[in-house]
């Protein structure tokens, strides 16, 4: 079974630009979550989508948004990029949305903002 | 809000040494607990998880963790580490419908 895939794997942007990251979950998985990983803050939850609906949202500004499509693929968008947005963005998928579901992570998209 | 503390930032062990990585969480209700590992250049992988039942949980690659509710702890153990265990280890917790909250991670370096 193919794992979670994320595209692109690496991205360089400049301040003020916007970026869209994509995540394809494991086949059959309907829940997708996004996390930001930085050396200083560690792993922080961004948002979770299940069946095209946002279920949970972390403590990030409105510049961070996401969506999920009917095929469960998800995108996240960051507008007006700041230097501090440089991070590894991880996507995780699970079969259903719930506390006892195990999340499987993708390789991440490494974003560098200059 | 829940929080997770991993006491050791960086642990250095010789091969065959025993490992114990600490993890404490703040929430007092029913929790689900996870340990993930991130090998150099690879993505996060699940090592083991606790939802309910036997508080001693066995995972992949010889790892185990014990849930001690009275201590709000979920420490990760391995009796004999190998060089290939060099990685970063993350403890995570959730409850109800809350998202996963991760600890800051513990970097393990195993030297020959």
Q: Which of A22-31, A43-52, A92-101 has the lowest mean pLDDT?
A: A92-101
pLDDT of residue B30: 87
Nearest CA in chain A to B104: A42
CA distance B29 to B15: 38
Give percent above pLDDT 70 in chain B.
100
Confirm or reject contact between B99 and chain A (CB < 8 A).
yes
Is pLDDT above 90 for A102? no
Phi, psi of A103 (to 5 degrees): -95, 140
Question: Under 8 Å CB-to-CB from B8, ≥6 apart: which residues?
Answer: B21, B22, B106
Q: What is the pLDDT averaged over residues B3-11? A: 93
Per-residue pLDDT reduced to its tens digit, A55-98: 889 989 999 999 999 999 999 999 999 999 999 999 999 887 66
Q: What is the pLDDT averaged over residues B3-23? A: 96
- Residue B106 sits at the vertex; the CA angle it makes with A89 and A4, to the nearest 5 degrees, is 30
pLDDT of residue B84: 96
The shortest CB-CB distance from A100 to any of B51, B99, B104 is to: B51
Contact A100 B32 (CB under 8 A): yes
CA distance A36 to B75: 24
Per-residue pLDDT reduced to its tens digit, B52-100: 889 999 999 999 999 999 999 999 999 999 999 999 999 999 887 788 8
A vs B, Cβ pairs < 8 A, gives 51
pLDDT of residue B92: 93
Residue A7 — pLDDT band, cuts 50, 70, 90? very high
Confirm or reject contact between B104 and chain A (CB < 8 A).
yes
Is pLDDT above 80 for A20? yes
Confirm or reject contact between A25 and chain B (CB < 8 A).
no
Q: What is the pLDDT averaged over residues B24-48? A: 90
């Amino acid at each position: 079974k193919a794992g979670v895939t994320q595209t692109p794997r690496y991205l360089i942007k400049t301040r003020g630009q916007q970026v869209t990251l994509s995540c394809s979950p494991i086949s059959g998985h309907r829940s997708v979550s996004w996390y930001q990983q930085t050396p200083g803050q560690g792993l922080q939850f961004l948002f979770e989508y299940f069946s095209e609906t946002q279920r949970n949202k972390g403590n990030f500004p409105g510049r961070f948004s996401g969506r999920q499509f009917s095929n469960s693929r998800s995108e996240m968008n960051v507008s007006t990029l700041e230097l501090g947005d440089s991070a590894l963005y991880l996507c995780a998928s699970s079969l259903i949305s719930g506390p006892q579901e195990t999340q499987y992570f993708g390789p991440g998209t490494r974003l560098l903002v200059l | 809000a829940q929080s997770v503390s991993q006491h050791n930032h960086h642990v250095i062990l010789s091969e065959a040494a025993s490992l114990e990585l600490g993890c404490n969480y703040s929430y007092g209700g029913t929790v689900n607990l996870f340990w993930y590992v991130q090998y150099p250049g690879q993505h996060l992988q699940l090592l083991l998880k606790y939802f309910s039942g036997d508080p001693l949980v066995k995972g992949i690659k010889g790892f185990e963790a014990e849930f001690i509710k009275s201590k709000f702890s979920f420490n990760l153990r391995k009796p004999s580490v190998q060089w290939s265990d060099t990685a970063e280890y993350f403890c995570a917790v959730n409850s109800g419908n809350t998202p996963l909250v991760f600890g800051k991670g513990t970097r393990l370096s195993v030297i020959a």
